């Protein structure tokens, strides 16, 4: 498909008009674009065209024009730049001029008035990387694609999905397709249509979506695009993936391709993770109602064949008590404390949390969040040794993908937090995610009658009991209970610190601590219903209290 754009060339020398238009046209033609040029040599005629003709997409403007009444030139091109910026705000303005010695601010003036590229005529040469005709043509193309003046790629998406709508509004279709194009160009691929599905928010405010594209010269390609305003956060993602692929079986780690973020496009950057085929998030897959056997097989693959070996092989003892569980970043402290203040009326309401008094909960949770203290325990009473290991660092149901089929298989994305973490962090992170997003996720999540059931469910998991129950028996709840049952029954094999009974008795307080610490994070999630937030806060307090009670006696 060839795309036609309208160009206005304003220069009083015909040889300049012909030369510059030819070189730009050749470069744009190579990308499938044609330029319908209108060429004028008189600034007054250019002003008339800008006032009367349909908007132009591209302007190529000389700055200096001969005066009729005096042997000199005048910068009439500046008027055209300013008018073009007003009449065609999406257009690309390329200023190319000889300049002169006594107008030293001429080119700076053109930039201030809105020109996107300003060059001396001698700089517009194939010998320059950044000022060559190919480079200028690429800038023109990127600009017009970025503001949707030209649409090369059709976006197909579910317009009724709020997450997709938010993604399209925040990032913009044109920006998303531009970033997607840069991802494909890394492997010399191209497409004219892309299907977009939204996944979950990523680290550092990034948006995550899956894309499916039938490339023009090859098979259908599937990617996970992570899009954000901050390149550094995406660099952490690429570095994390490279480290993970050194330590984990590569079939479980979705590779980044290219290995560096692309962009910026309109202030956005992106990374692209290449999927073998179309995939669902674990949350989405569990919502499809897989059988308990399939759920257990998938979890077995994820932990027995992948993460469990990572935890074992990278574990090391440190002389600090449970890092990453006691030490909440300041912004998380503020979020938990604000949520606790907001939820206090619900905690004590007879039709809500049903607590006689929230004073103790508020005091215990507050001292834990701000001071790292367990209820009734002095810091000197804590064991001063703990164990860390390499971990995914954000193991929730949106960062685990599932390739569906007769034998579903898992794959991991978003390794921004990959690194050393407490030995219980990954399993507890996933369990809390299943509890809060999967168990009774339908209408039951909006009513407080489920709270006692959820509280008992968390208590059972804290004690590694497989006697697990929920309110409903819908497909996702049944699937999540199967996953939770597998994790609880296999936790001693997954976590080195719980292997033997002696290990369990010595270290189970850290398991309770991990659940409590991570449950607190759910108290401030905006997409969590108030009953689930209250349940998370009360269950977190239960687990912190259980951790204090399970501390081994000091010898």
Count CB-CB contacts under 10 A for residue 152: 20
The DSSP bridge pattern shows strands 193-201 and 154-157 to be: parallel
Q: Please provide the average confidence, as pLDDT, over all residues in the chain.
A: 90
CB 42 within 8 A of CB 73: no
In CATH terms, the fold of domain 154-275 is Phosphorylase Kinase; domain 1 (3.30.200)
Mean pLDDT value of segment 409-431:
94
Question: Rg (Cα) of the chain, in Å, rounded?
Answer: 30
Give the SS3 label for residue 192: coil
Q: 324 falls in which pLDDT band (50, 70, 90)?
A: low
Q: Which residue has the tokens 């092989």?
A: 313
How confident is the model at residue 384, as a pLDDT?
Answer: 77
Taking only the tens place, the pLDDT of each residue in 133-150 is: 999 999 999 899 888 888
Q: Where are any strands of DSSP class E within 150-267?
A: 154-157, 193-201, 207-214, 220-228, 262-265
What residues contact 169, with CB distance under 8 A and at least 6 apart?
Answer: none
Nearest to 138 by CA among 108, 194, 178, 111: 178
Please give the Cα distance from 440 to 483 (Å, whole number).
14
pLDDT for res 124 = 93
Which stretch of 62-71, 187-196, 418-427 has the lowest confidence by average pLDDT? 62-71
pLDDT of the residue at 301: 96
Cα 21 from chain centroid (whole Å): 41
- Domain positions in the chain: 3-146, 154-275, 280-549
CB 360 within 8 A of CB 349: no
CA pair distance 532, 535, nearest whole angstrom: 5
pLDDT tens for each residue of 452-495 = 999 999 999 999 999 999 999 999 999 999 999 999 999 999 99
pLDDT bracket for residue 187 (50, 70, 90)? confident
Q: Say what the pTM is.
A: 0.82
Distance separating alpha carbons of residues 80 and 100, to the nearest angstrom? 19
Q: Which CATH architecture has domain 280-549?
A: Alpha-Beta Complex (3.90)
Pairwise CA distance, residues 480 & 18, whole Å: 68
Reading the block at residue 112, the tokens are 């201030």
Tokens of 518: 């991570």
Residue 169: burial class (beta carbons within 10 Å; 0-12, 13-18, 19+): exposed
463: how many CB neighbours lie within 10 A of its CB? 14
Write phi, then psi, for 183 (nearest 5 degrees): -65, -45
Q: Tell how far CA 254 is from the center of its chain.
A: 15
Confidence class of residue 277 from pLDDT cuts 50, 70 and 90? confident
The topology under which CATH files domain 3-146 is Rossmann fold (3.40.50)
- What average pLDDT score do residues 144-165 get? 83
Report the candidate in 398, 437, 388, 390 with the shortest Cα–Cα distance to residue 417.
Answer: 390
Residue 323's pLDDT band (boundaries 50, 70, 90)? low
Average pLDDT over residues 174-196: 86
Tell me: the pLDDT tens digits for 327-373? Answer: 788 999 999 999 999 999 999 999 999 999 899 999 999 999 998 88
Give the side-chain half-sphere CA count within 13 A for 444. Answer: 20
Tell me what the mean pLDDT of segment 285-311 comes to: 95
For residues 261 and 241, is the Cβ–Cβ distance under 8 A? no
Task: Categorize the per-residue pLDDT at 233 as very low, low, confident or very high, splitting at 50, 70 and 90.
Answer: confident
How far apart CA 210 and CA 207 sit, in angstroms, is: 10
Q: What is the mean pLDDT of residues 513-530?
A: 92
Q: Which positions ≥6 away from 249 have C-beta within 8 Å?
A: 305, 306
For 530, the 3-state DSSP assignment is helix
The pLDDT of residue 555 is above 60: no
Helix 330-348 to helix 501-521 angle (10° resolution) is: 80
Give the pLDDT of residue 37. 95
Residue 108: CB atoms within 10 A of its CB come to 10
More confident of the two residues 100 and 140: 140
Across the range 227-231, mean pLDDT stands at 88
- Residue 273 · residue 257 · CB < 8 Å: yes
């Amino acid at each position: 498909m060839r795309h036609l754009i309208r160009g206005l060339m304003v220069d009083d020398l015909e040889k300049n008009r012909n030369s510059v238009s030819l070189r730009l046209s050749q470069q744009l033609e190579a990308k499938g674009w044609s330029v319908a040029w209108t060429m004028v040599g008189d600034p007054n005629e250019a002003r008339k065209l800008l006032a009367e003709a349909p908007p132009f997409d591209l302007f190529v403007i000389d700055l200096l024009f001969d005066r009729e009444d005096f042997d000199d030139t005048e910068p009439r091109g500046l008027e055209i730049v300013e008018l073009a910026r007003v009449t065609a705000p999406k257009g690309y303005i390329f200023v190319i001029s000889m300049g002169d010695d006594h107008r030293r601010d001429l080119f700076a003036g053109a930039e201030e008035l809105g020109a996107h590229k300003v060059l001396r005529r001698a700089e517009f040469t194939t010998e320059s990387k950044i000022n060559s005709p190919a480079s200028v043509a690429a800038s023109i193309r990127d600009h017009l694609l970025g503001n949707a003046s030209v649409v090369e790629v059709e976006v197909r998406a579910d317009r009724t999905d709020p997450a997709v709508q938010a993604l399209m509004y925040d990032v913009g279709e044109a920006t998303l397709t531009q970033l997607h194009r840069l991802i494909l160009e890394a492997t010399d691929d191209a497409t004219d249509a892309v299907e977009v599905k939204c996944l979950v928010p990523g680290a550092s405010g990034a948006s995550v979506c899956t894309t499916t594209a039938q490339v023009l010269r090859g098979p259908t390609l599937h990617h996970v695009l992570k899009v954000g305003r901050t390149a550094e956060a995406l660099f952490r993602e690429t570095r994390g993936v490279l480290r993970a692929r050194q330590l984990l079986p590569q079939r479980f780690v979705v590779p980044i391709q290219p290995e560096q973020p692309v962009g910026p496009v309109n202030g956005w950057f992106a990374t692209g993770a290449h999927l073998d085929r179309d995939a669902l998030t674990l949350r989405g897959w569990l919502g499809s109602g897989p059988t308990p056997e399939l759920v257990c097989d998938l979890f077995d693959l994820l932990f027995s064949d992948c993460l469990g070996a990572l935890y074992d092989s990278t574990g090391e003892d440190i002389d600090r008590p449970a890092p990453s569980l006691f030490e909440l970043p300041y912004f998380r402290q503020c979020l938990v404390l604000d949520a606790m203040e907001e939820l206090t009326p619900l905690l004590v309401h007879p039709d809500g949390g049903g607590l006689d008094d929230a004073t103790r909960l508020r005091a215990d949770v507050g001292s834990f969040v701000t001071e790292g203290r367990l209820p009734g325990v002095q810091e000197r009473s804590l064991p001063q040794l703990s164990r860390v290991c390499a971990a995914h660092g954000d193991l929730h149901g949106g960062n685990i993908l599932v390739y569906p089929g007769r034998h579903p298989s898992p794959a991991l994305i978003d390794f921004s937090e990959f690194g050393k973490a407490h030995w219980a962090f990954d399993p507890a992170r996933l369990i809390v995610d299943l509890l809060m997003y999967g168990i009774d996720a339908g209408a039951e999540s909006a009513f407080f009658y489920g709270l006692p059931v959820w509280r008992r469910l968390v208590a059972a998991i804290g004690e590694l009991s497989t006697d697990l129950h929920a309110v409903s028996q819908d497909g996702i709840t049944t699937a999540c209970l199967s996953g939770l049952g597998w994790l609880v029954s296999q936790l001693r094999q997954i976590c080195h610190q719980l292997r033997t009974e002696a290990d369990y008795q010595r270290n189970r307080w850290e398991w309770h601590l991990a659940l409590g610490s991570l449950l607190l994070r759910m108290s401030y999630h905006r997409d969590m219903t108030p009953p689930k937030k209250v349940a998370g806060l009360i269950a977190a307090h239960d687990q912190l209290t259980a951790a204090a009670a399970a501390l081994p006696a000091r010898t």
